[in-house]
Amino acid sequence: MANIESSPEFVEQAYKKMDEKLKVVRSRLNRPMTLAEKVLLSHLDDPKESEIVAGDSYILLNPDRVAHQDVTGQMSILQFMQSGRDQVAVPTTVHCDHLVQARVGASSDLQDALNESNEVYQFLESASRKYGMGFWKPGSGIIHQVVLENYAFPGALIIGTDSHTVNGGGLGSLAIGVGGADAADVMAGLAWEVKYPTLIGVHLTGEMSGWTAPKDVIIYLAGLLTVSGGTNAIIEYFGPGASSISATGKGTICNMGAELGATGDMFPYDARMATYLKATNRGALAELAEKYRHLVTADPEVEQDPSQYYDRVVEIDLSKLEPHITGPHSPDRARPISDMAKEIKENDFPETIAAALVGSCTNSSYEDMSRCADVARQASDHGITAKSSFMVTPGSEQVRATIERD
């Protein structure tokens, strides 16, 4: 039976395997390596013989984990059941989140989901129990936030049956959204085949201030690269500005990499990730990441001359980055919020905000909630009351409980 948890023992064993395979790959490439290359190629099924030409080769990989949401996971698990295995070959979790529809409020919406999807939940729970998968019942939280809090770790290769699996890059994982058949293969013990992606390097300098938030980084990048600019590519963030962003802020940035069509996106391990690991009771994993830092950060030479190692390099000065707004109709229709008033007049956009939401899989961390709470306090202090509806969806039960505590 596969160990479900990302325990210190499991993670150290994963690092040892990565170390061994990376030595083989280094002897073949004979040059400095980016973080994405290290994580991807250290999970090769056959590091000695695999053809590794970025943008051309198809490679076979051995992921560390599989994660399912409750809609796409159903068919994947049914496919896995045809393999004849008694247990999943790699740690696998199932997260019941997508079938809970937001209508009225937490209690009634959750009860409606339990009534409407009871048969699905019974199947997923019984299958998880039978095949050794972790099961997160309805109300536990959004899959990506739960994975970040419990399973992701620097250097991990994670696949999930949801496009926004890339959220795990905020904790230094290479987390990739896949189809159900891909996940079923890995659960059955087969290698996962994917086209070897090219690399986009995003060099971050400076530090955010004022109203600028992590999501402004990815909105700006979406406007620059467009919704197809990340296709068949891994976006790797690096530079001194990266360490100024919290782990959950990094997760927000990586989460929206899916809107650019990216295979995956990730940040290098740093002190902010260590802080998050300790805050989520995984301090031992931070110690392991420090021990194996050479696996979870790019080689120093890469940052000195990034154009030699990335297919494209984008420069973003966080000190100059304004708050941005995106849409309507497309996530790459981005502009600084200072330009919005002009656009409203030119395009006859609605001027009044009818409803606002903090939540979903992109904006549901404790950091996002605390920002909104701060704005609400400031408004209250000035005697201002809300004119539009405002909905709050914490990303997980852990985030909700922390909010209640504070």
Question: Which strands make up the sheet holding 233-238, listed edge to edge?
Answer: 264-266, 233-238, 198-205, 312-317
Q: What share of the chain is helix, strand, coil (3-state, %, to 5)?
A: 45, 15, 35
How many other C-beta atoms can be found within 10 angstroms of the C-beta atom of residue 113?
Answer: 22
* Runs of H (alpha helix) within 188-270: 214-225, 247-255
Please count the other Cβ atoms lying within 10 Å of the Cβ belonging to residue 370.
Answer: 13
Q: Are 165 and 27 in contact (CB under 8 A)?
A: no
Domains of the chain: 8-317 (3.30.499.10), 352-405 (no CATH)
Please indicate, yes or no, whether the overall pTM of this predicted structure exceeds 0.85: yes
Provide CB contacts within 8 A for 286, sequence distance 6+.
Answer: 273, 274, 277, 278
What are residue 60's DSSP bridge partners?
193
| Per-residue pLDDT tens digits of the chain, which is 406 residues long | 467 999 999 999 999 999 999 999 999 999 999 999 999 999 999 999 999 999 999 999 999 999 999 999 999 999 999 999 999 999 999 999 999 988 899 899 999 999 999 999 999 999 999 999 999 999 999 999 999 999 999 999 999 999 999 999 999 999 999 999 999 999 999 999 999 999 999 999 999 999 999 999 999 999 999 999 999 999 999 999 999 999 999 999 999 999 999 999 999 999 999 999 999 999 999 999 999 999 999 999 999 999 999 999 999 999 999 999 998 889 899 999 999 999 999 999 988 888 999 988 888 899 999 999 999 999 999 999 988 988 899 999 999 999 999 9
The answer to whether 109 touches 102, Cβ cutoff 8 Å, is yes
Q: Which two tokens stand for residue 121?
A: 């939940």
- The two tokens of residue 178 are 């896949």
Residue for token digits 């959950």? 248
